[in-house]
Amino acid sequence: MAGAEGDDSLYPIAVLIDELRNEDVQLRLNSIKKLSTIALALGVERTRTELLPFLTDTIYDEDEVLLALAEQLGSFTVLVGGPEFVHCLLPPLESLATVEETVVRDKAVESLQKISQEHSPVDLEVHFVPLVKRLASGDWFTSRTSACGLFSVCYPRVSSTVKAEIRQHFRTLCSDDTPMVRRAASSKLGEFAKVLELDYVKSDIIPLFTALASDEQDSVRLLAVEAGVSIATLLPQEDLEDLVMPTLRQAAEDKSWRVRYMVADKFSELQKAVGPEITKNDLVPAFQNLLKDCEAEVRTAAANKVKVFCESLPEDSRETIIMTHILPCVKELVSDTNQHVKSALASVIMGLSTILGKDNTVEHLLPLFLVQLKDEYPEVRLNIISNLDCVNEVIGIRQLSQSLLPAIVELAEDAKWRVRLAIIEYMPLLAGQLGVEFFDEKLNSLCMAWLIDHVYAIREAATCNLMKLVEKFGAEWAQNTIVPKVLGMANDSNYLHRMTTLFCINALSEVCGQEITTKHMLPVVLKMSTDQVANVRFNVARCLQKIGPVLDSSALQADVKPVLEKLATDQDMDVKYFALEREILSLISMRVCKGLFLCITLLFNCFSI
C-alpha cells in the first residue's frame, strides 16, 4: 500500500518531466515554468547529476521556452544545494548565453550576473571566470557578446592577476572583427568602467572609449556616446578636459546624424556628468549646433531637451546664457520647416517662462508662444495649449487670451476629429485658468456645438467635458447656462441629438444634484419615453436606471415606475429588455417581491417571442 501512495505523489511530477519534451510548446513552457517543483521532487543530488545535464543540451527549443528556462535558472541556487554547488548552474546558462536570440541571451546573462553573487571568491575564480573567458574567446559572436556583460560582475571580487586578465579580455573584445561584439562592448563599457580602479579607467578605458567612438560603424560610435557619459561621471573634474571632452566634442560633430542624435538625446545626462564649467564653455556651443543641425531628427531631439538643459545651467550665468545663446536658436526653431521639430519645441518651450521670470517672458517668449499658437500644424498648437499652466503661474493667462481664443476656435473646428477630441480634453483645464466669465463669453458656445458634432466620439467626449465643467463651476452655473441648452435639444428633429440630451443627463445628474435632476431633467426624460424612435426610448430606460440613485423614492414611485412599466410593454424588444432590467434592479432594491416575479416573467416572455 505504501508503494501506491508513493505513485500518487510521483504522478504529477512524472507528468511534468514527460512534458518537458512534449510536442506542444505550451505544455513544454508550463513544465519549464514549474522546473523548481521538478527539482524539489528530484532532490539536490539528482537535480545536479541528471536534470541540469539534460537542460544543458536542450537549447534546440523555441525561444519562449529557452527564455523561461534562462529566467528559472537564475533563482535555482537553493535547488542544487546552495551556494556551495551554485557552479552546477553554469553549464546550462553557458549554452543559453550562446543562442542566436538576443532576448534569451540577455536573460541568460542576467541570470549569470545574479548567480555570480552567490559564488564564493574561490568558486568565482575556479568556475565563473573560466566561463567568462570561454565565452569571450568563443568561435561565435553570440558567446562573445554575452561575455561583455559578465566582466563587471566578477571584476571586483577577484585577485589582481585575474583582474589583469579580465581587462585584457575586454580590450580584445573592443577590437573584435564583428560589429555585433564591438556594439556589445561599447554598450557595456560604462558599466565596466564603474567597477575599475580609477588608474585603470584612465589607462585602459579611455583608449578603448576613444577607439570605439571613432569606429567605422555608425552603430558602434553611437553607443560609445552613452559610455562617454558614464565615464565622465567617474573622472575627477581636472581630467575631463583632456581625457573625455575631445572625443565627446567629436561625437557632437560626427558625420553621421545618428551619432549626433544620440548626443542630443543624452544631453542632460552629459551636462550633469561634466559639471558647470565645461557646460558653460563646451556644451552651450555644442547645444546651439545641435539645435541648428541640418537633420530634423537631431533638431527634434535637441528641442526636446531645451527646458531641461536651461534648468540645469549654473545659476549665476543661467539667464545670460539663455538670453544670448539659447533663445536666438529657439526663435529660429519656432519657424522650422519640420513639424516634428516645432511640436517637440512647443511641448517644452512654455517651461522656459518659469526659468526666465515675468519680464523676459512677456518680452521674449510671449511672441514665440503667439507664433506657435498660429502654427499650421494642429499638434504644435495643441502642445502649447496643453502646457498653458506653466505660463499661467508666471504672467497669467490673460496676456495670451487674445491669441488663445482664435487658436482654440480653429482647433475646435478642425477637420480631423482626433484634433477636436484633443482640444476637448484640455477644455476643463482652460476653463479653470480663464475663469467663468471668459468661458461663458467665448467658449461656452463651442462646448455646446460639440454636442451636435457628427462624430460620436466627439459627442461622447463633449458630454464628459460638460460634467467636468460643472464640477469646476458648480451646480448653479450649470442650471443657468448649460442645462437649458441641453434640455432644449430634447425637441430636436434629429434623433441623435435627442439621444445626446439623454447622455448629457446621464453624465450631469450626479454633479447637478437631486434638485435640478428631479425638477428639470426628469420631466424631459419622462416625456421622451414616447419618442417615435426606439433607440431613444430604450435610452430613456437606461437613463432612468442611471439617474435613479439621484432621485428620491417618491419621484421613483410616482413618475418613474409607470413609465418603465409602459416601456416594458413596448413593441420593440430592446426597449422592453432595458425597461425590465431597470425595473428588476429597482425592485430588488425596494424588495417588492411580487413585482419582481412579474417582471422576470415578462422578461422571459420577451425573449421567447
Partner 1 sequence: ADVISTVEFNQTGEFLFLATGDKGGRVVIFQREPQGEYNVYSTFQSHEPEFDYLKSLEIEERINKIRWLPLHNPAHFLLATNDKTIKLWKVSERDKRAEGYNLRDEEGRLKDLSTVTTLQVPVLRPMDLLVEASPRRVFANAHAYHINSISVNSDCETYLSADDLRINLWNLNITDRSFNIVDLKPENMEDLSEVITVAEFHPHHCHLLAFSSSTGTTRLCDMRASALCDQHAKLFEEAADPSHRSFFSEIVSSVSDVKFSHSGRYLLTRDYLTVKVWDLNMENKPVETYQVHDYLRTKLCSLYESDCIFDKFECAWNGTDSVIMTGAYNNYFRMFDRASLRDVTLEASREVCKRRAVLQPRRVCVGKKQKETDVSVDSLDFRKKILHTAWHPKENIIAIAASNNLYIFQDRLTPNGHHNTPEIQSCRQHHNNLMNCYEHI
| C-alpha separations of 46 from 42, 50, 52, 81 in Å | 6, 5, 9, 11
DSSP classification of residue 22? -
What whole-number distance in Å separates Cα of residue 603 and Cα of residue 394? 62
Q: Give the chain's end-to-end CA distance (angstroms, integer).
A: 62
Q: Which is nearer to partner 1, 177 or 199 (CB)?
A: 177
| Minimum gap (Å) between residue 180 Cβ and partner 1 | 5
| Minimum gap (Å) between residue 145 Cβ and partner 1 | 10
Q: Which is nearer to partner 1, 26 or 159 (CB)?
A: 26
Nearest to 258 by CA among 225, 288, 282, 232: 225
| Minimum gap (Å) between residue 35 Cβ and partner 1 | 12
Q: Which is nearer to partner 1, 93 or 478 (CB)?
A: 93
Nearest to 301 by CA among 334, 332, 257: 257
DSSP classification of residue 361? I
Q: Which is nearer to partner 1, 98 or 304 (CB)?
A: 98
| C-alpha separations of 325 from 271, 289, 318 in Å | 16, 11, 10
| Minimum gap (Å) between residue 227 Cβ and partner 1 | 18
Interface residues toward partner 1, by CB under 8 A: 3-4, 6-7, 10-11, 13-15, 17-18, 20-21, 41-42, 46, 50-51, 54, 57-58, 60, 98-102, 140-143, 178-180, 183, 216-219, 254-258, 294-297
3-class SS of residue 137: coil
Which backbone phi and psi does 95 adopt, to 5 degrees? -70, -30
Q: Which is nearer to partner 1, 44 or 602 (CB)?
A: 44
| Minimum gap (Å) between residue 218 Cβ and partner 1 | 6
Cβ-based neighbours of 323, under 8 Å, separated by 6 or more: 356, 360, 364
| Minimum gap (Å) between residue 121 Cβ and partner 1 | 32
State the amino acid at position 542 in one-letter form: R
Q: What is the DSSP string of 241-255?
A: HHHTHHHHHHHHT-S
Query: Hunting for cell 567597477 — which residue is that?
Result: 195
Q: Which is nearer to partner 1, 184 or 421 (CB)?
A: 184
| Minimum gap (Å) between residue 496 Cβ and partner 1 | 30
Q: Which is nearer to partner 1, 219 or 339 (CB)?
A: 219
What whole-number distance in Å separates Cα of residue 438 and Cα of residue 416? 26
Q: Which is nearer to partner 1, 7 or 238 (CB)?
A: 7
| Minimum gap (Å) between residue 40 Cβ and partner 1 | 11
